[in-house]
């Protein structure tokens, strides 16, 4: 499965690389305000699959971003969508018209949306956090699925990748991309051993020199230990993995009245930035409930959480924004380029596979004979005469 070209470019062919046409089974996930044209094109040029985050873009901004990526690279890339967004159909139309090869979803798309994309030749890769969700989208025709364990950043579950991943691999017959806790070549080999077709990384790609996240915010990530990454439900009522900061601590202590005031303020700011009406914000907030018992303040925050992310990821205000983060932030200490990162991961993966192969080298026959109690080479004890 692993190959080295004449130029020394290490590649590992999997069902994922065959499906989307990339050289390496690595996916840069679609992170709001982070996965823009520069990061996505740098990832694509490095041979991995870059995913453009569209939830924080207006529809015209999405088309412009797609065209910017295509001007920077000829390699395949994807666009991440919110399946429950009111304008999801319009965004799908842009993906089809602009010839984007992959559509990924933060939430399960409908059977009809999957069919529309597949009819246009677009590869559909929903993200899931449970086996039953993977089974559902696979039955609806999804081409692959990205499964994120509890170690992953942003909205996340509470089941570890090492427990969730094999469940999903055993349950579906489409390629599975493992996410949550991956940052190096050892993790890639481990995921492949579980039966995955590749790995998705968010925080690791965020912490590259190609990422547009302000340097001061990157420094906060690099300084964090594993214990500095926490999960809170105070942002929008859903479990959200992020760096622990004074803001997060204050959110945890805040009462309902303060939470409602903050929600309205952020909703107003997001409405001005996005051009959405209050009615549209309310519809999106209701859509994000998904049967959960959220308060109106939580619904407002669910519709405009991007503003809290934007404060940190775009404006560099770590004191005012939320910094979504996987637990791997606690073990990352550098900012390579995407090209350097991908090469490093693939080189380490090859070395890890070679080390594993050395452990399974057949034992020489003489050694095996010496270990056999019936061998004439075995030591003879006094009891054996």
Dihedral sign for Cα atoms in the order 354, 339, 127, 234? positive
Report the number of distinct structural domains present in the chain: 2
Q: What is the DSSP string of 8-30?
A: --EEE--HHHHHHT-SSSEEE--
**pLDDT tens, position by position, 178-190:** 999 999 999 999 9
- Cα 379 to Cα 114, 141, 197, 340, 368: the distances in Å are 68, 63, 48, 54, 13
Residue 314 and residue 187 share a domain: no
Decide: 198 and 47 in contact? Cβ < 8 Å.
no
Identify the domain boundary among 305, 324, 343.
Answer: 324
Domain boundary among 324, 342, 367: 324
Query: Buried b vs exposed e over 285-321: b needs ≥16 C-beta within 10 Å?
Result: bebbeeeeebeebbbbbbbbbbbbbbbbbbebebeeb
DSSP tag of 42: H
pLDDT band at 23; cut points 50, 70, 90: very high
Same domain flag for 259 and 142: no
27-82 pLDDT per residue, tens: 999 999 999 999 999 999 999 999 999 998 999 999 999 999 999 999 999 999 99
Question: How many helical (H) and strand (E) elements, i.e. helices and strands, does the chain have?
Answer: 16, 13
What is the pLDDT at residue 304? 55
One domain, residues 120 and 237: no
* pLDDT over threshold 90, residue 215: yes
Give the domain extent around 134: 2-215+332-354
Output the six-digit token pair for 56.
């924080």
Pairwise CA distance, residues 79 & 74, whole Å? 15
pLDDT of 299 above 50: yes
Q: Which residues pair with 243 in a beta bridge?
A: 229
Span 244-269, average pLDDT: 70
**Pair 135, 171: CB distance under 8 Å:** yes
Give me the phi and psi of 191, to 5 degrees please: -65, -40
Say what the pLDDT of residue 172 is: 98
User: What pairing do the DSSP bridges indicate for beta strands 123-128 and 145-148?
Assistant: parallel
Q: What is the CA radius of gyration of the chain?
A: 23
d(CA 308, CA 197): 34
In this predicted structure, what is the pLDDT of residue 372?
45
Q: Do 289 and 229 share a structural domain? A: yes
* Burial category of 90 from C-beta neighbours within 10 Å (exposed 0-12, middle 13-18, buried 19 and up): exposed
pLDDT of residue 128: 95
Supply the mean pLDDT for the chain.
Answer: 86
Question: Do 52 and 154 fall within a single domain?
Answer: yes
Indicate whether 367 belongs to any domain: no
Residue 28 forms part of a structural domain? yes
| CA-CA-CA-CA torsion sign (192, 21, 346, 211) | negative
The per-residue pLDDT for 266 is 59
Question: Domain check: are 62 and 148 in the same one?
Answer: yes
CB 267 within 8 A of CB 300: yes
| Pair of tokens at residue 344 | 């490093």
pLDDT recorded at residue 235: 79
Residues 177 and 271 in one domain: no
pLDDT at 7 over 50: no
Asked whether residue 288 is domain-assigned, the answer is: yes
Q: Which of 197-201, 267-271, 371-375 shows the lowest per-residue confidence on average (mean pLDDT)? A: 371-375
pTM: 0.85
Residue 330 has pLDDT above 50, yes or no: yes
End-to-end distance of the chain based on CA atoms, in angstroms? Answer: 53
- Poorest-pLDDT segment among 141-155, 203-217, 357-371: 357-371
């Amino acid at each position: 499965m692993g190959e080295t070209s004449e130029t020394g470019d290490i590649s590992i062919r999997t069902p994922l690389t065959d499906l989307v046409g990339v050289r390496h089974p690595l996916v840069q996930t679609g992170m709001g305000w982070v996965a823009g044209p520069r990061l996505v094109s740098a990832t694509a040029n490095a041979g991995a699959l870059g995913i453009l985050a569209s939830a924080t873009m207006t529809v015209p901004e999405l088309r412009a971003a797609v065209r910017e990526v295509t001007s920077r690279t000829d390699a395949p890339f994807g666009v991440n969508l919110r399946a429950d967004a009111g304008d999801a159909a319009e965004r799908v139309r842009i993906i089809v018209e602009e010839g984007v090869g992959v559509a990924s979803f933060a939430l399960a798309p409908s059977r009809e949306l999957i069919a529309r994309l597949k009819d246009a030749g677009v590869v559909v890769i929903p993200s899931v956090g449970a086996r039953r969700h993977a089974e559902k989208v696979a039955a609806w025709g999804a081409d692959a699925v990205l499964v994120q364990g509890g170690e992953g950043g942003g909205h996340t579950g509470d089941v570890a990748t090492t427990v969730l991943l094999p469940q999903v691999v055993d349950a579906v017959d489409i390629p599975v991309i493992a996410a949550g806790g991956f940052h190096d070549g050892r993790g890639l080999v481990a995921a492949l051993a579980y039966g995955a077709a590749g790995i998705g990384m968010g925080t690791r790609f965020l912490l590259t020199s190609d990422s547009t996240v302000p340097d001061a915010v990157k420094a906060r990530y690099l300084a964090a230990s594993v214990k500095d990454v926490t999960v809170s439900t105070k942002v929008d009522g859903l479990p959200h993995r992020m760096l622990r900061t004074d803001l997060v601590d204050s959110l945890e202590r805040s009462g309902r009245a303060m939470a409602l005031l903050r929600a309205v303020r952020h909703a107003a700011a997001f409405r001005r930035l996005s051009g959405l009406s209050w009615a549209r914000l309310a519809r999106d907030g209701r859509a994000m409930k998904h049967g959960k018992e959220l308060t109106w303040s939580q619904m407002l925050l669910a519709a405009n959480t991007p503003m809290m992310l934007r404060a940190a990821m775009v404006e560099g205000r770590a004191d005012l924004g939320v910094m979504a983060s996987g637990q791997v932030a606690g073990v990352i200490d550098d900012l390579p380029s995407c090209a350097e990162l991908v090469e490093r991961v693939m080189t380490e993966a090859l070395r890890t596979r070679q080390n594993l192969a050395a452990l399974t080298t057949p034992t020489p026959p003489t050694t095996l004979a010496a270990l056999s109690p019936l061998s004439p080479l075995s030591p003879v004890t006094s009891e054996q005469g």
